[in-house]
Structure 1
Amino acid sequence: MPLPFLTADRAFDEAADDLALPFDDRDHWRRPYRPGPWRVGAAALVLLLASFVLFAAVIIAVAGALPGGAITFGGAVLVILCALRLLRVGVWVSAHGLRRVSFFRTGTTPWAQVAAVRTVQQPVRWLGLPRTVQGQALVLVRADRAPDDLTPLLTTHNADFLARMEAFDRAADSVEVWADEYRRV
């Protein structure tokens, strides 16, 4: 069974260097990179936990405590939804703008409000934790905000690109090409 939210479009990997945006339907939101092994591994562990909770819900329901089984089943569904949301976290692009999906929030910036998208060397958070390390970040400079208010979109030390520098470079280049293409329009 194909799971399209797990992989980015393969056209990014198979496209020629001169063809930066190889899509016919540019209105469709897409992630220009594959989720990293840390993100997929964390989602797999959360789904493993969900399977145990579902098994517990069946045991509770068979034992005769239907309300407890229903509550446990609801908790398992919530854990599964959290795993799916974890897989959707990242940067998505389309002809409409740039969308940054985090675990609790989703924010969309129209291309008209994007002043620049560039890669900078700066301290970045390691796997989203409070600890910072020196790394690279793809930052969004918005036209409606101060130039020093840089929003990091991707970093070399997040769950998608930890120890995958080439993947970060390809993803950053892809997002920059989308920005260059649609900021002019």
Structure 2
Amino acid sequence: MPLPFLTADRETDALAAQTVTLPHADRDRWRRPYRPGPWRVAGGALLLLLASYMLFSALIIALAGALPSAGLCAVAAALVIVFALRLLRAGVWVSAHGLRQAGLVRTTTLRWHDVGTLNTVQRPVNWLGMPRTVQGQALTLIRAGDGDAGVLEPQTLLTSHNADFLARPEAFDRAADVIESWAAESRR
């Protein structure tokens, strides 16, 4: 019995091996240089599942005749959907313009000439963003102007134990290398 999803993977691998300019090879477009991790995707999926239940309950409440309560339930479901989408978009993004760190609430963008030093260091890092710390690796950023002011407080961009790289050390190493190479290439 043919399994079409296996042949699709082989075709994708064959295309990736070729040096063909793809439509998404535009350097001006913002892109995440790594895939979202399974913990981040699972969290987003669970939140979207919760939102679907909330929307279904809003429908039942509206059919029962309590429109203000249904509206409140629908607004709460919309907020959960927005939170899930922000969770899935969180991470480090790069383009020819600079480096962007997207979080749940805030997004910070730096131009490449503002990026000073990017280093991968061994240190205690937060486990899945919680207060518990474990020994791991972190990709840290020191801005270009911080060394002049005497303030050398590094900003953590990625850790080996966040939602994208937990139990995936090779993916963390590749992502850190790609971000460092983008910085080196863009500062030329």
Q: Which runs of 5+ in 1 are unaligned?
A: 1-9
| Match of residue 83 from structure 2 | 82
Please tell me whether residue 54 in structure 1 is matched to residue 55 in structure 2: yes
Alignment of 1:105-120 (within 5 A): 105-120=106-121
1:14 aligns to 2:16 (yes or no): yes
- The equivalent of 1:156 in structure 2 is 160
Q: How does 1:123-138 map to 2 (within 5 A)?
A: 123-138=124-139
Single out whichever of 99-108 and 144-153 deviates more from structure 2: 144-153
Tell me the TM-score normalized by structure 2: 0.85
Q: Deviations over 1:23-44 (max 9, x none)?
A: 6411110000000000000111
Residue in 2 that maps onto 1:28: 29
**Distance in 1 between residues matched to 2:67 and 2:97, nearest whole Å:** 47
Q: Out of 177, 181, 184, which is 1:180 matched to?
A: 184
- Report the secondary structure of 2:80's partner residue: helix
- CA offsets 1:77-113 (integer angstroms, 9 cap, x no match): 1111110110000000001110000101000111011
Paired amino acid for 1:152: T
State the SS of the aligned residue for 1:134: strand
Q: Secondary structure at the match of 2:146?
A: coil
Assess, with a 3 A threshold, how the Cα gap between structure 1 residues 15 and 183 changes in structure 2: closer, same or farther.
Answer: farther
SS at match of 1:26: coil
Shift of 1:149: 1.0
Gaps of 5+ in 2: 1-11
Q: What secondary structure is seen at the aligned counterpart in 1 of 2:139?
A: strand
Larger mean Cα displacement after TM superposition, 126-135 or 139-148: 139-148
RMSD: 2.2
The TM-score normalised by the length of structure 1 is 0.86
Q: 1-side partners of 2:153 and 2:30: how far apart?
A: 25
| Number of equivalences | 170
Q: Which residue of 1 aligns with 2:100?
A: 99
Change in CA separation of 1:51 and 1:23 when aligned onto 2, cut-off 3 Å: closer
CA apart distance, 1:14: 3.5
Which residue pairs with 1:6 in the alignment? Answer: none
